[in-house]
Structure 1
Amino acid sequence: MPGGRLTQAERQQIAVGLADGLAYAEIARRLHRPTSTITREVTRNGGPTGYRADLAHRATQQR
C-alpha cells in the first residue's frame, strides 16, 4: 500500500485543515497524500464537521 496508513500527526493536520476551511485537495498536498485518501478518511470518521483526529485514530487501531 503506497504511503501506508495515516499517522496520528497526519490526522491532527487533517483536523486543523478542516477547521481552517481548507479543501481536501489542499490538505492532501500539504500531507503529500492523494486527495482520495483524505476524502475517505474524513468521510469514514465523521465528515467535515464531525471529524476528530483522536477518535479517527482509535477507530483505525480497532479495525
Structure 2
Amino acid sequence: MQTTYTVTGMTCAHCARSVTEELTELEGVTDVSVDVPTGAVTVSSTAELAKDDVAAAVTEAGYQLVG
C-alpha cells in the first residue's frame, strides 16, 4: 500500500532524513520517499496507517502534516 502525504517546513536533505527516520519506525512501513521541494512524502506500508500515527511521527521529526 502506498500513500502520499504533504509535509510543510522541509527545506533540505537533513529534513528529509528526519522525516524518513521517524516514519520508518511506524509498524508496517516498508519504504519512505521524500520530495523536499514539493513536500510530498510517499509512504509504502504493509497495511493502511492511521493518519494520527503519521502526523505524530512527522511532528516528532519537527515538521507538520498538511490536511
Instruction: Place the TM-score, normalised by the shorter chain, in its bin.
Output: 0.3 to 0.5
- TM-score normalised per structure 2: 0.33
Structure with greater helix percent: 1
Structure with greater strand percent: 2
Higher RCO (C-alpha 8 Å, min separation 6) = 2
- TM-score normalised per structure 1: 0.34
